[in-house]
Amino acid sequence: MTISSIGSGSGLPVESIISKMLEVENQPITNLQSRNDTIKTQISVYGKIQSAFSSMRDAASKLTTPASWAALTATSSDTTMATVTAGSGSGAGSYSVSVSQLAAAQSVVSGAMSSTTPVGAGTMTIELGQWGDATQSSFTSKSGSTPVSISISATDTLASVRDKINASGSGVLASVVTDSTGSRLVIRSSATGEANGFRITTADADGNGSDASGLSALAYDPTAGIKSMTQNAAAQNAKVKINNIDIVSSTNVIENAVDGLSINILKQGDLTVTVGQDKDSVKKVITDFVTSYNSLMNLLRDNTKYDASTKTAGALQGDSTAVGLQAQLRNITAGGSTLGGAYARLSDLGLNIGTAGTITVDDSKLSSALGHLSDLKQLFMGTDSTNSANNGIATRWRALADQVTGMDGSLTTRTAGLQSRVTANNKRVDELTDRSAAYEKRLRAQYTALDTQMAKLNDLNSYVGKLTSMLGSSSS
């Protein structure tokens, strides 16, 4: 006899029975999967903690870097006259600056002409160099520079001549200025300084390069008596006295006349430049660390606490590694050092530790402490060769971060341990899944056999019933 569906022979709800039995059989799998979800959440949180520790380590490292404490700032007594920037190697102090002359670029301008009329064909040659004196009776070519010749066609207007000059790489820049009297070509050196003057000679197609007619109207070479264009600015160097020492510069940015100090002069006059320690940059390094440290402490606290009001626990509540890290951070932060002179603890300079383990900044107190940078520097980055527990606080923060995030650090080993548990649980889930599949197969085979047997018994019962009924009828 063929059974069309399991249970049809016995009349039992076999699928429901098997489902409930498999549910019991699979409960360990469900438990393991749920546990793995919890462990994966813990791994994710530890990843965030590791990242936060790395950020804290980077912030602490800046507090242990001499350059952070050596930063200088420069101020100008008159920023309309000069702006100043202190760089590496600058020396703290005050400097008198007197500007008698600004660096300038040579500039020449043509006479007025039509902007649409062709200038005249020929060749224009531009040469960089230095004029001998104010009369410009001599000209010395610039070392390393080569005269540049520009071919001008019979159809070129002022605008196209301008474009050809600007594309030539000759060391000058050209522009066209137009007013009610007409258009003029203005040519100036692209760089300031006496060595960046220039002269312009022309080979005019009309055969006369000095008659101010045709292309020669754009010539300027006083050494040959040619001044078809008019000079409206001479090339000159900046002349400055710093602490009464003469300084000459081809540009208006005076670099390293004083080590590491850059002075951008804007006009003539006298001013004072003051270079001092950059307390604002040090303050920022400290407050940036506080932000990074608080972020790490908040992350640890939120994931290890139990919220009684919501009856929920953090992902790492009761986790000994996370709790231990909190304790280590608190111990370093609450501790001090005898290396800091006037400052032994963070609270002495306005960094106060709250009950949550985070740091709050008393801005007024910190600003006052910045007046004693050498003591602050020692408190944060000092090294005690005889007792590492007395090292500067930032030095210990950084060392802790290096240790816990290292190859054998507690964060690394804890994360690896959690991952190995996930792997082991997954392996056990696979084993239990295979066992469950075999169990289901056995159940179905057993109930199929039961169905077949029950079907036969039902058929026999039906046959006996019919036979009994027939016998009863014949006896009557």
Task: Read off the pLDDT of each residue in 336-361 and give the average, rounded to a whole number.
Answer: 92
Q: What is the pLDDT of residues 44-70, one digit of tens each?
A: 999 999 999 999 999 999 999 998 988
* Residue 5: predicted pLDDT: 58
Residue type (1 letter), 139: F
Residue type (1 letter), 372: H
Task: Look up residue 110 and give its DSSP letter.
Answer: P
- Token pair belonging to 375: 């003591």
Q: What is the pLDDT of residues 269-313, one digit of tens each?
A: 999 999 988 899 999 999 999 999 999 999 999 999 888 888 888
- The residues with which 177 forms a beta bridge, in sequence order, are 184
User: Does residue 317 have a pLDDT over 60?
Assistant: yes
Task: Read off the pLDDT of each residue in 417-421 and give the average, rounded to a whole number.
Answer: 90
**CA-CA distance, 399 to 287, in Å (whole number)?**
20
- Concatenate the DSSP letters of all residues of 218-250 into one string: G-BBGGGTB-SSEEEE--B-EEEEETTEEEEES
- In the structure, what pLDDT confidence band is assigned to residue 1 with cuts at 50, 70 and 90? very low
- In the structure, what pLDDT confidence band is assigned to residue 137 with cuts at 50, 70 and 90? very high
User: Does residue 465 have a pLDDT over 80?
Assistant: no
- In the structure, what pLDDT confidence band is assigned to residue 2 with cuts at 50, 70 and 90? very low
Contacts of 195 (CB under 8 A, 6+ apart): 128, 129, 130, 142, 235, 250
* Residue 211: predicted pLDDT: 80
Of residues 416 and 447, the one with the higher pLDDT is 416
- The residues with which 387 forms a beta bridge, in sequence order, are none
Number of H helices, E strands in the chain: 9, 20
Is 429 buried (19+), middle (13-18) or exposed (0-12) by CB count in 10 A? middle
**CA-CA distance, 23 to 29, in Å (whole number)?**
10
- The residues with which 195 forms a beta bridge, in sequence order, are none
Q: What is the pLDDT of residues 140-162, one digit of tens each?
A: 999 999 999 999 999 999 999 99
* Residue 3: predicted pLDDT: 45
Which one of 23-27, 175-179, 255-259 scores highest in mean pLDDT? 175-179
Of residues 463 and 417, the one with the higher pLDDT is 417
- Listed by start position, the domains of the chain span 1-71+278-461, 72-103+238-277, 107-233
* Residue 309: predicted pLDDT: 85
Query: How many C-beta atoms lie closer than 10 Å to residue 452's C-beta?
Result: 15
* Residue 355: predicted pLDDT: 84
**CA-CA distance, 387 to 252, in Å (whole number)?**
53
- In the structure, what pLDDT confidence band is assigned to residue 223 with cuts at 50, 70 and 90? very high
Mean pLDDT of the chain: 90
Least confident of 79-88, 207-216, 335-344, 403-412: 207-216
Which pairs count as long-range contacts for 28-32, CB under 8 Å and 24+ apart, including other chains?
Answer: 28/432, 29/429, 29/432, 29/433, 29/436, 32/425, 32/428, 32/429, 32/432
* Residue 7: predicted pLDDT: 55
Helix, strand or coil for residue 173? strand
User: Does residue 169 have a pLDDT over 70?
Assistant: yes
